[in-house]
């Protein structure tokens, strides 16, 4: 069948081999990508204008507010500390002084020219934190050395050395975890506690202890129960916070054993008596 001349003219031309035919959708997407690349190349980042004067003004204002807040907290901390120095039972009232100071920040800031209308939550939290921790620090500082001293001395590492150096054998007063009590324990595991001290042997007994304080120690005395009664004597310093008292076993009563107390007093008049728990005497043989 022959094809008319008009039909040949309207028929699309054949696509040469090796060339891919593109659809209308693909051509539109290609145009869009090209347009996006052009817009991306034309975009230029411009940082916002920086107002240096306004920045410095705000930083100086914040610094001034922080310094005045700390100074304000110091006044309340000193007040709370003085109340505790007058009477330690005023602790609840002293703590309420700090709480009152926190509440008063709302009225204190306008007095020093701080515009709280522009304050956000973080600004209030910062001011409260500065005040509260400064208040606590000053309060604690006032209640400690060198302003005051409420801590008693500490007595620890009490050891009785039996015999002359360098052959002396030690007996230490220590806590026994398995028994949950304090007891006298020989430092040498081969020694037997009941056989270490004898009245007739007239052994040298050197009672030593480590005694410390957060200030200065005024006096350290030892009270020993002997066969003739109680003997009170000062202890001698040996260095490294250790103090000692020397006696002889011939002065002891075998029925009562070796029993003593140590009393340490600091310059503030705080007294600590060792031991603070029930004391067990060291056995003494005849």
- 280 token code pair: 């067990």
* The model's pTM: 0.64
Q: What is the pLDDT of residue 120?
A: 86
pLDDT confidence of residue 1 = 47
Do 204 and 238 touch, CB atoms closer than 8 A? no
Paired residues of 221 in beta bridges: 234, 263
What integer pLDDT is reported at residue 18 of this predicted model? 53
Q: What is the pLDDT of residue 251?
A: 95
Torsion over CA: 133, 135, 139, 144 (sign) = positive
pLDDT score at 26: 64
Averaged pLDDT, groups of 10, the chain, 286 residues long: 54 54 62 61 62 77 91 95 89 94 93 85 91 95 83 94 93 92 93 95 96 93 94 95 96 94 93 85 93
Structure tokens at 29: 């997407």
Report whether 139 contacts 79 (CB < 8 A). Answer: no
**What CA–CA distance (Å, rounded) separates 213 from 218?**
10
Q: Under CATH, what is the fold of the domain 154-274?
A: Immunoglobulin-like (2.60.40)
pLDDT at residue number 279: 75
Contact predicate 187/199, CB 8 Å: no
Q: Indicate the domain borders of the chain.
A: 53-142, 154-274
pLDDT at 55: 72
DSSP notation for 41-108: HH----PPPP-HHHHHHHHHHHHHHHHHHHHHHHHHHHHHHHHHHH-GGGHHHHHHHHHHHHHHHHHH
Amino acid 116: pLDDT = 83
């Amino acid at each position: 069948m022959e094809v008319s001349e008009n039909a040949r003219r309207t028929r699309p031309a054949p696509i040469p081999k090796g060339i891919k035919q593109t659809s209308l959708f693909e051509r539109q997407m290609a145009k869009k990508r090209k347009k996006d690349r052009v817009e991306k190349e034309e975009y230029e980042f411009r940082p916002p204008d920086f107002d240096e004067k306004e920045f410095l003004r705000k930083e100086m204002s914040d610094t001034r507010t922080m310094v005045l807040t700390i100074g304000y907290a110091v006044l309340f901390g000193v007040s709370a500390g003085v109340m505790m120095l007058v009477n330690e039972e005023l602790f609840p009232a002293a703590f309420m002084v700090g709480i009152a100071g926190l509440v008063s920040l709302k009225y204190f800031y306008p007095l020093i020219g701080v515009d709280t209308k522009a304050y956000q939550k973080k600004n209030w939290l910062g001011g409260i934190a500065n005040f509260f921790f400064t208040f606590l620090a000053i309060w604690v500082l006032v209640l400690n050395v060198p302003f005051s001293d409420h801590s008693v001395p500490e007595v620890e590492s009490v050891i009785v050395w039996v015999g002359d150096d360098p052959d002396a054998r030690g007996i230490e007063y220590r806590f026994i975890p398995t028994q949950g009590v304090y007891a006298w324990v020989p430092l040498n595991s081969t020694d037997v506690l009941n056989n270490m001290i004898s009245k007739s042997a007239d052994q040298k007994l050197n009672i030593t202890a480590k005694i410390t304080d957060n200030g200065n120690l005024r006096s350290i005395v030892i009270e020993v129960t002997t066969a003739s009664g109680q003997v009170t004597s000062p202890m001698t310093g040996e260095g490294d916070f250790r103090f000692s008292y020397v006696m002889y076993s011939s002065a002891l009563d075998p029925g009562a054993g070796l029993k003593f107390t140590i009393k340490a007093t600091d310059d503030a008049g705080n007294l600590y008596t060792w031991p603070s728990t029930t004391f067990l005497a060291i056995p003494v043989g005849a």
